[in-house]
Amino acid sequence: MLRGGKVGLRARHEEDLPILRAELYDDVVNSSRAESGPWRPVSPGSKDPRLSLDDTPPGSVPFSVVELEGGTLAGTAALWGIDNHNRSAHIGLGLLPSCRGKGYGTDVVAVLCHYGFVVRGLQRLQMETLSDNAAMLRSAEHNGFVREGVLRSSAWVLGEFLDEVVLGLLAQDWKQGPTV
């Protein structure tokens, strides 16, 4: 397991799946805002890659986020779109509603940076989020990500087009915290 200050990133376990499905992917508003695509209902036992136990999508490494104290599931995180030629990847995360606003998001981004830069030897990490997702923007910026551009009206979210922000962080600009 990779450890941050408050949370750890470990493999996804079978028992995580019903919780992630009920608390993240059944939530129409959260899913519509966090995924770049339309919300669809997810059946138990679905082969949806977000609920896969294997690293099925190529270039993608899924994690479950757990609280270090007690090991309770707190959400999901991933390094995806890993490009070993350009040595870049994207990061993504989603916390269960009860785990938001406690500093976990900032910590998860830190651990994903450790995984991307130290474990995988990447040079650039990128993320995209809606321009009104203040918590996500701040979680990324606290770790050194900078806003590189705005994709105007790029996301269709529940009846309206919203802007997305692209953020990037280069290995040489990353200040490693106490992640191990």
Ligand X SMILES: CC(C)(COP(=O)(O)OP(=O)(O)OC[C@H]1O[C@@H](n2cnc3c(N)ncnc32)[C@H](O)[C@@H]1OP(=O)(O)O)[C@@H](O)C(=O)NCCC(=O)NCCS
- Give me the residues that bind ligand X (CB under 6 A), please: 30, 34, 93-95, 100-106, 129, 133-136, 138-139
Least separation, in Å, of the C-beta of 33 and ligand X? 6
CA atoms of 152 and 141, how far apart (whole Å): 20
**b or e along 99-118 (b: 16 or more beta carbons within 10 Å of the residue's beta carbon)?**
beeeebbbbbbbbbbbbbbe
* Minimum distance, C-beta of residue 73 to ligand X, in the bound complex (Å): 13
Least Å distance between CB 104 and ligand X? 4
Which residue, judged by CB position, is nearest to ligand X in the bound state? Answer: 105
Using DSSP, state whether 85 is helix, strand or coil: coil
- By C-beta, is 64 or 106 nearer to ligand X? 106
Comparing CB distances to ligand X, the nearer of 62 and 85 is 62
CA distance linking residue 160 with residue 167, whole number of Å: 22
Calculate the alpha carbon distances from 93 to 57, 75, 86, 110, 129 in Å. 16, 8, 22, 12, 10
**DSSP, res 131:** T
Nearer to ligand X, 95 or 122 (CB): 95
Provide, rounded to whole angstroms, the least separation between the CB of residue 80 and ligand X. 12
Which one, 17 or 164, has the nearer CB to ligand X?
A: 164
